[in-house]
Amino acid sequence: MKPIVSVEGRVGTMRLIGQFDFNLHKDFRQASQELLDNGSVQEIHVDFDQVPFLDSSALGMLLLLKERAAGQKKSMILINCREAVMQVFEIACFNKMFTIRPTA
C-alpha cells in the first residue's frame, strides 16, 4: 500500500502501512518528494505504527531521505516504532543517527 502523506503546519507526516521493503521503493520516493517539495514543511515524520517488518532496503531508503531532507534544512523523525522495528533500528545503529520516538 502507498504511504499516506499529510501536512499540518510545518510538520509533514508519511504514514507507512504494511511491510516496508524494496516493493515500496517507488511509492516511498514519490511520497518523500512530495514532502521535500513542500516549502512549508520543516520537519518530516515517518510513522511506523502500521509497519510490522522492514528490511535492509528500507534502511537505505530512510538514509537517503535523511540526507535529502538535511540538504533542504529539514529535520526527520521516526515515530511510533514498534518493538520489532526498534530492534532492527538498534542493530543498524539507527538509534544513533536518527531521532526515534517509539510507540508510547
pLDDT (0 to 100) of residue 1: 74
Between CA 14 and CA 3 the distance in angstroms is 6
**CATH number, domain with residue 97:** 3.30.750.24
Structurally, the chain folds into a number of domains equal to: 1
pLDDT tens digits, 57-92:
999 999 999 999 999 999 999 999 999 999 999 999
Domain carrying residue 60: 2-102
pLDDT (0 to 100) of residue 104: 59
Q: Across the chain, what does the average pLDDT equal?
A: 95
DSSP alpha helix (H) spans, 1-104: 25-37, 56-71, 83-91, 94-97
For the chain, the C-alpha Rg in angstroms (whole number) is 12
